[in-house]
Chains A and B, each alone.
Chain A
Amino acid sequence: DIQMTQSPSTLSASVGDRVTITCRASQSISYWLAWYQQKPGKAPKLLIYKASSLQSGVPLRFSGSGSGTEFTLTISSLQPDDFATYYCKQYNSYPLTFGGGTKVEIK
């Protein structure tokens, strides 16, 4: 199974900060990676797919990069609506696996 490791697990930041979350795969997944945002009590929301493709309707301050085993999600200027938990997910091979999540908190 491919293990997905996210870091940090918790991140404290202020509105306007540039935020970067890292996701590492235990083996190469090419660019078959998605990022999701989840708020408490809600279903996740797709932000990025194929490592760097922005899902329709997602603000341009979100971006993704990477390939192989190292990936990043960047929020260029953190907004109040962005405080949430973020998950990466590989879909290169079964079983599909998620990272453990990164909680972005208000500093």
Chain B
Amino acid sequence: EVHLVESGGGLVQPGGSLRLSCAASGFTFSSSWMTWVRQAPGKGLEWVANIKPDGSEKFSVDSVKGRFTVSRDNAKNSLYLQMNSLRAEDTAIYYCARYYENSGPIDYWGQGSLVTVSS
């Protein structure tokens, strides 16, 4: 059974940094495109970043470029999101997720990790 478990969320001051981790199990992680999607409190879904199975290609939304970095460690079956220069508008639940058949639809999601940026 596929499991995605995020960790690392919490309260951080504006301008601060946080690193989210996602532990994957139940599938061949090293063969799967992975993604981060976020959802601000009471708002809709926003795609944040993608990473290719071997980590050689990464894509992200403009609002996080230069501040957030997606990475992975296939030996540890883990996905990461390094978030720097955090802003209040980055406050959201961050979901780690897997792409279905390495395409655009997401078939498995983690439970989410809440990041709150506030002084």
A34 touches B (CB below 8 Å):
yes
Q: Is the CB of B110 within 8 A of A43?
A: yes
Q: Is the CB of B61 within 8 A of A49?
A: no
User: Which residues of A15-45 are within 8 A (CB) of B?
Assistant: 32, 34, 36, 38, 43-44
Q: Which of A66-74, A76-84, A88-96 contacts B (4 or more CB under 8 A)?
A: A88-96
A14 touches B (CB below 8 Å):
no
CB distance from A105 to the nearest CB of B (A): 15
Chain A interface size, as a band, is 20 to 34
Q: Is the CB of A43 within 8 A of B111?
A: yes
B104 touches A (CB below 8 Å):
yes
Residues of chain B within 8 A of A38, CB atoms compared? 45
Q: Please, how many residues of chain B have a CB less than 8 angstroms from a CB on the other chain?
A: 21
Complex alpha-carbon distance, A56 and B59, angstroms: 28
Complex alpha-carbon distance, A27 and B76, angstroms: 40
Q: Is the CB of B107 within 8 A of A98?
A: no
Q: Is the CB of B62 within 8 A of A95?
A: yes
User: CB within 8 A of B95: which of A43, A46, A55, A91?
Assistant: A43
Q: Is the CB of B95 within 8 A of A100?
A: no
Given A94-B59, A98-B46, does the pair A44, B109 have CB atoms closer than 8 Å? Answer: yes
Q: Is the CB of A100 within 8 A of B44?
A: yes
Q: Is the CB of A43 within 8 A of B59?
A: no
Complex alpha-carbon distance, A55 and B104, angstroms: 13
Q: Is the CB of B47 within 8 A of A98?
A: yes
Q: Is the CB of B44 within 8 A of A87?
A: yes
Residues of chain B within 8 A of A36, CB atoms compared? 45, 106
Q: Is the CB of B109 within 8 A of A96?
A: no
Complex alpha-carbon distance, A55 and B108, angstroms: 12
Beyond A44-B45, A49-B100, A96-B104, 16 additional pairs, beta carbon < 8 A? A36-B106, A43-B109, A43-B111, A44-B95, A46-B100, A46-B106, A49-B104, A55-B105, A87-B44, A87-B45, A89-B104, A94-B50, A95-B59, A95-B60, A96-B50, A100-B44
**What are 19 A-B pairs with beta-carbon distances under 8 A?**
A32-B104, A34-B105, A38-B45, A43-B109, A43-B112, A44-B45, A44-B95, A44-B106, A46-B105, A49-B105, A50-B105, A55-B107, A89-B45, A89-B104, A91-B105, A94-B59, A96-B47, A96-B104, A98-B47
